[in-house]
Structure 1
Amino acid sequence: MRVCVGTTVHHPEDARITHRQIRALLDSGHEVTFVAPFSHCNVTPRQGIRAVDVPRAVGLRRGKALRAAASALRTAARDADLLLVHDIELLLALPRRRPPTVWDVHEDTIAALGAKTYLPGPVRSVLPPLIRAIESRAERRVHLMLAEESYRARFPGAHPVVPDHTYVPPAPPAPPGDNRIVHVGHISLARGAAEMVEVARRLRPYGIRLDLIGPADAEVRPMLRDAQRAGLLDWFGYVPNNHALRMAEGALAGLSLLHDVPNHRHSMPTKIIEYMARGVPVVTTPLPMAASLVERAGCGTIVPFGEVGEVADAVVRSVLRLREDAERRAEMGARGHAEALNHYHWPAVAGEFVALLERWAQAPDTVPALSPSRTVPA
C-alpha cells in the first residue's frame, strides 16, 4: 500500500504522526510519502520515506502554506492508495481526484481556539461555526479517525478511535533520581509555563533542577530564557519524542500542570502516559482523565488548580515529599511503568491502525474535495 501523509501545522517529528503511525506503516512494509514542513523545522527526513517539503502554517498567515500543500498533495496523491491528513486546514486543500482519504482528528479544534492567543476577538467569534461546517462536511466526505474517545461527541457517526499511546520499554527503567524534575511537551501559559518557572525558583535552594523539553509559544519564550539565564532551569526546546523520553528517564517527577480549559478538560495528557512509561512519578493538576489514571495506578500525586503561587506551592511540597522517600517514588515509578506497559503500549494497537488504513484503501472514494478558494457555508 502506498500512503500519502500530510501536515502543515504539526512538526515533521510529531510523535503521533511520525514515531507511531508512519513507523507502523513502514514496519508493515508499506510505502509512505510525507508532505510536511521539513525546512521550516530544520528536520532531515528519515530514511525510508519520500519527503515533500512545504511551508509551515503558523499564526494567521496560512494562505501560502495552504496553497503549497494543495499543490503538493495533488502531485503526491496521484499514485497513492490512501491519503492521510492531520490538519483541519488540509480539508480545504484536498485534490479533487484522490484516493480514499482519512482525517486524523488530533484535537477539539473549537475548544483549542482559547489557547490561540494570536487570534483577534472578532475572528474567535467567526471561526466556531466555520469549523463546525468543515467538520460536518468532512464527516460526510472522508473517513475520520479520532485520537480520543471524548471526540465522539462532536461527530454523530461511528468513527474508530486510534488512541495516542506510546512505546513502553519492556523492562522497568532505572528508579527515579532525587535532583531533577522534567516537563516533556509543548509549553504555553495554559500548559503551566508560569507555574513551572515558579516551581523551579522555589526548588533551587533544595538543589532540584527543572528540565523543560519541548517547544514554547512565543509569548512565554522570554520568560523561559530569563529563567534559564538565571540558572533556574534548562530549556532544551524541541527534541524528537524518542530522545525526549530518554532524557526524562531517572527524573524525580514529571510535571503536567495543564489549566482547566475546554481543550484540556476531557482529554488524557499524553505526557502523563509517557512519564509512566519511563518510570517517572507524575505530578498533575486534577483534570478528570489525568487524575483518574494517576489515582488508579498509584503512580503520582495530584495538585489543585489555582493561582500561580498556589499551584507552585503544592508542586514543591509534592516534589520534596518524593525526594525524602526513595522507596515511595521507586514504587510509583514501577507502578506507572506496569500500567503503561499493560494498557498504553502503542505496538499493541499499531497493527489495528495499519489494518484500518488497509481496509479503507480498498474502499472506493470519489467524493469531491472542498476548494481552497471557496467559502464553506456556516
Structure 2
Amino acid sequence: MKKVVHLTSVHARKDIRILLKETSSLAKAGFDVSLIVADGFGDDIVNNVKIIDIGTAKHRFDRILNTTKKVFSKAMSLDADIYHFHDPELISTGLKLKKAGKKVVFDSHEDFASDLLTKTYIPRFLRMAMSTSFKVFDSYACKKFDSIITATPAIAELYNARGCKTVVINNYPIIDELSIPPTEKENSACFVGAQTPIRGVKELVNAIDKLDGKLYLAGPVVNESFKTELSNAEGWNRVTDLGIIPRNEVAEILGKCKVGLVTYLPAPNHIDAQPNKLFEYMSVGLPVVASHFPLWKQIVEDNYCGICVDPANPDEIAKAIKFIFDNPDEAKKMGENGIKAINDIYNWSVEEAKLVSFYNEMLND
C-alpha cells in the first residue's frame, strides 16, 4: 500500500478540502494516508486518515520559525511515497523534502501573493514588498516540486505561466455531505465563514437593517475591533451571531434560511476565487446572493440559481434578498437549479477521480 502524507501548519484538522475531501478520498481509494497538523488536540483517526498532531505554536512567528521544523521532522520519520503540503509557509519544508529525494506536491488554495495585499496584520507600507518577495520566491520554488495542485483554474494559470506542472482540483462540494433537516423556512439569510471586513460582512449587516428579516452569521470573527464595529451597525439587532458551529448545526441553519450570502468585496484574491460556501448553498437548494464578479456571475446567473450584486452596496444586497423573500416560486426554481448544477457539474466526485488519477500517475512516473 502506497503511503501518502499531507502537511499543514495552519489549517484546522477538519478542514473541508484537506480532510473531508482530499485525504478521505485518497484513503477510500486504498492509499495509506496520514495528515500532519499543528493544533494541540492530539492524534486521531478520521475516515481511515491518521491525524498526527505535533502541537500548537505560541504565536504566528513561533509557528513559522519552529512549527515548520517539527512538521519536516515528523514528515521525514513517516517515509512516505508522496508528500502533499497546503501552506505557503511550508514551501521551505517542501524544498527540504525534495532535497531528501521525496516526491512533493504543493496544494495552492489561493493566490497568496495577492492575498498578502489585504492582510490587515501587516503594516500597509510593507504589503507590496512582501507580496513581491513572495512571488519571486514562489516562482523559484514551484519549479522544484513534482506538481502544483490548485483550487481554481485562475491559480493554475499563474503557475503555468511560471513553467510549473499543474493540475486543478476544484473545491466543489461533496454531494449530500450537508443533509438539511426538514424545517419551516424563515425570512432569514445566512453567511457561513470567517467574519472579516474584506468579505463584506458589515455590508450584510447594513443590508438586513433594510428588511423585515433576520441574518445568521456562522463563523469566527477576525478581531475584537471588527466585532465592535459590527455590533454598533444599525442592523445588528436583526443578527444572530452563532460563532463557530459544527457541520450539523451549519446544515440546520441552511435549512431554515431562504437565502445564502457570499458577497465578498472586490480584492485580487476574490475575483477569480470559487468559495466553498457558494457551492454548499447551491448543494442544499438555497438561492444565492453573490458578488457580481464575472466568474461568479457565470456560475450563479448562467445557472439561474441566485442573484449577483455589487457587494459594496447594502441597498442592492437588500433588494436581492427581498426579491427572494417575496417570490417563493422563483426562489424554489433557483434552489432546484442550484442542486442540478451541483449534481451535473460542480461536485466533488468529479474532482475525486481527478485527484486519485493524478496520484497514480505520480507513482507510476
Tell me, yes or no, if structure 1 residue 191 matches structure 2 residue 193.
Answer: no
**Which residue in 2 is equivalent to 1:159?**
166
Aligned-pair identity (%): 23
**Which residue in 2 is equivalent to 1:200?**
208
Shift of 1:118: 0.6
The RMSD of aligned alpha carbons is 2.8
Shift of 1:267: 2.0
CA 1:226–1:10 in structure 2 vs 1: closer, same or farther (change >3 Å)? farther
Tell me, yes or no, if structure 1 residue 261 matches structure 2 residue 261.
Answer: no
**Which residue in 1 is equivalent to 2:354?**
352
TM-score by length of 2: 0.87
CA 1:210–1:31 in structure 2 vs 1: closer, same or farther (change >3 Å)? same
SS at match of 2:107: strand
SS at match of 2:5: strand
Shift of 1:315: 2.0
CA 1:126–1:50 in structure 2 vs 1: closer, same or farther (change >3 Å)? same
Tell me, yes or no, if structure 1 residue 277 matches structure 2 residue 276.
Answer: no
Tell me, yes or no, if structure 1 residue 97 matches structure 2 residue 100.
Answer: yes
CA 1:29–1:228 in structure 2 vs 1: closer, same or farther (change >3 Å)? farther
**Which residue in 2 is equivalent to 1:120?**
123
8 A Cα contact 2:9 2:71, kept in partner: no
8 A Cα contact 1:283 1:303, kept in partner: yes
- Which residue of 309, 324, 327 corresponds with 1:325? 327
| Structure 1, unpaired ranges of 5+ | 364-378
Between 230-239 and 173-182, the greater mean CA deviation after superposition? 173-182
Counterpart code for 1:316: A
CA 1:312–1:249 in structure 2 vs 1: closer, same or farther (change >3 Å)? same
Tell me, yes or no, if structure 1 residue 182 matches structure 2 residue 186.
Answer: no
SS at match of 2:217: strand
**Which residue in 1 is equivalent to 2:345?**
343
**Which residue in 2 is equivalent to 1:72?**
71
Counterpart code for 2:191: H
Cα distance in 1 for residues equivalent to 2:178 and 2:121? 44
**Which residue in 2 is equivalent to 1:293?**
299
SS at match of 1:296: coil
- 1:195-231: CA deviations, max 9, x gaps? 122123333xx2x221112223114233456679964
Shift of 1:29: 2.3
Shift of 1:121: 3.1
Number of aligned residue pairs? 353
Shift of 1:341: 1.0
Tell me, yes or no, if structure 1 residue 51 matches structure 2 residue 51.
Answer: yes
CA 1:258–1:241 in structure 2 vs 1: closer, same or farther (change >3 Å)? same
8 A Cα contact 1:253 1:281, kept in partner: yes
Tell me, yes or no, if structure 1 residue 11 matches structure 2 residue 12.
Answer: yes
SS at match of 2:19: helix
Shift of 1:124: 1.3
Matches within 5 A, 1:123-142: 123-142=126-145
| Structure 2, unpaired ranges of 5+ | none
TM-score by length of 1: 0.84
8 A Cα contact 1:12 1:43, kept in partner: no
Cα distance in 1 for residues equivalent to 2:178 and 2:217? 25
8 A Cα contact 2:205 2:235, kept in partner: no
Counterpart code for 1:265: I
Name which structure has the greater RCO, CA cutoff 8 Å, separation 6+. 1
